[in-house]
Amino acid sequence: MSEAHRVVAIIMARGGSKGLPGKNIRPLAGKPLLAYSIEAALASGVCDDVVVSTDSEKIAAVAREHGAWVPFMRPPELATDEARNEAVLVHALEELERVHGRVYDIVVYLQPTDLFRSPAWIRQAVELLRSRPDLESAFSAYATPKNYWTTDPDTGEWVRVLPEMAQYMTRQNPLRRLLYREDTGVACASRAEIVRSGRRIGDKVELIINEDLRTMIDIHDEFDLWLAEAVLQRWGLPE
């Protein structure tokens, strides 16, 4: 891979989870939760470096054991409940480039709590950015035909997200617009300058659309962990 298109996968895994203590290295179907994201990034074949940003030595040891690089520890102020993921990404990218002199062009963002991903989605996100200079980001999105409501910011009344939802249509109706749930934790690639500016995704994007219900599982409590293990043992991971 050329230096101009160096790709880094940054996986954030702090040690202070309260909803599910130690969740990032909790065992799930025989391996730590964090391992699934590391393995997917490595299996994608498009990441020059796979880095875990953590404040925990235990998590760092698990990350290294499963093939990730942990060249620095995350500072305490970026390991709180209030710390924004974007700030953690900026720190990780700048620290890598400063200490190791590596300039990255593309940043892959993965969340350990989203394990139901295909390495192909990561590869597709990166390849989209490589082939289309106009794009700033590419990420996984779940397509849903459901109708959604929200509140009007001025009146507080319930309103349909899309006006045509007032008329119920079949999924196959050509007039029906689907909604797409942004799943950047499943698979996301953004240009490094977007991340350096403090954003996870840019404005000019392409979606990698899936209809895989497994991507809805995001592990934050004991029920999520139980559900993920049951689904994983019965149906496995997306190919």
DSSP for residue 178: P
Architecture per CATH, domain 3-137+182-235, reads as: Alpha-Beta Complex (3.90)
CA distance 103 to 109: 17
For the entire predicted model, the pTM comes to: 0.93
**Which H/E stretch holds residue 113?**
none
> Are 8 and 107 in contact, with CB atoms under 8 Å apart?
yes
Q: Which residues of the chain have pLDDT under 50?
A: 1-2
What is the pLDDT at residue 149? 96
Q: Are 105 and 4 in contact (CB under 8 A)?
A: yes
Instruction: Please give the pLDDT value at position 2.
Output: 44
Distance CA 190, CA 120 (A): 16
pLDDT in tens, 18-50: 788 899 999 999 999 999 999 999 999 999 999
